[in-house]
Amino acid sequence: MNIFYLFIGTYISVAYICPAENRSLADLTLPESPGHTTAAIHADSSKWTADFLELQKAITTGNKSALKSFIDFPIKNKGNEIWYIADSRLVMEIDPKEIKPFTEADYDKYFSSIFAMDLRKTFEKLDAEEFFRTGKSTGPEIEVVKGSKSKLKAIYDKGRKKITLSLFSTGKDFSAYAIMYEFDIMPDQKIKFRQVYLSE
């Protein structure tokens, strides 16, 4: 697994400067969230849609301060995967079995790695109205940086009160991968970032 994290970290930090083929991400999908109907999603989402739009604005504009209102520090990410996305060199140093808290100071230092440009640009293209109406939406596949293709899929799990943003990316000679950003909808209908993890 450490080799996979090193591979992903290298791709995130280096591959964007290399030319790549325009390969499709159409075959990358997430399982549908069970038990949500269009009517139920639309009725329930009206309570947190405003916060979601503020979240979208904070991420797409790269507003580090505004995004902090969606995070409770320190972040205790399962498997410490937030650290591996922040800096791939930490893969061999941090034990995934013992959670290392990700502090506000760490957030300030690694913000651009965790909430990178491909997430910002693909989130900007996401159809929020469709997401509110149906509980899911997939944005268009775009080239954020020359040599890569990315798209974002959002899913709302009504039963678990969770929102998952899945960033799918690929490039020349690299297997496609996904980075999942998981958020909780709190009892007061505020949205809170919980963790980020990788999928092969």
pLDDT in tens, 85-105: 999 898 889 999 999 999 999
- Tell me what pLDDT residue 131 has: 97
CA distances 159 to 128, 130, 135, 140, Å, are 20, 19, 12, 27
Instruction: Please tell me the predicted confidence (pLDDT) of residue 35.
Output: 42
**With contact defined as beta carbons under 8 Å apart, do 152 and 123 qualify?**
yes
Are the beta carbons of 199 and 165 closer than 8 angstroms?
Answer: no
Q: Label residue 131 exposed, middle or buried (CB < 10 Å: 0-12, 13-18, 19+).
A: buried
- H-helix or E-strand spanning residue 55: helix 49-60
pLDDT of residue 130: 98
The one-letter code for the residue type at 150 is S
Farthest-apart Cα atoms in the chain, separation:
48
* Bond preceding residue 74 cis, omega within 30 of 0: yes
User: What is the arithmetic mean of pLDDT over 67-77?
Assistant: 98
| CB atoms near residue 46 (< 10 Å) | 11
pLDDT at 46: 60
For the chain, what is the mean pLDDT? 83
Mean pLDDT in residue range 37-44: 48
Q: Tell me, what's the pLDDT at 21? A: 36
Place of tokens 């992903």: 8
Name the residue among 47, 31, 114, 37 with its Cα closest to residue 77.
Answer: 114
What pTM was computed for the model?
Answer: 0.79
Residues in the chain: 200
Q: How far apart are CA 5 and CA 54, in angstroms?
A: 31
**pLDDT at residue 160 greater than cutoff 90:** yes
| Residue whose tokens read 């301060």 | 65
Residue type, 154: A
pLDDT category of residue 45 using cuts at 50, 70 and 90: low
Nearest in space to 159 (alpha carbons), one of 11, 36, 39, 20: 36
Backbone angles phi, psi at 84, to 5 degrees: -70, -30
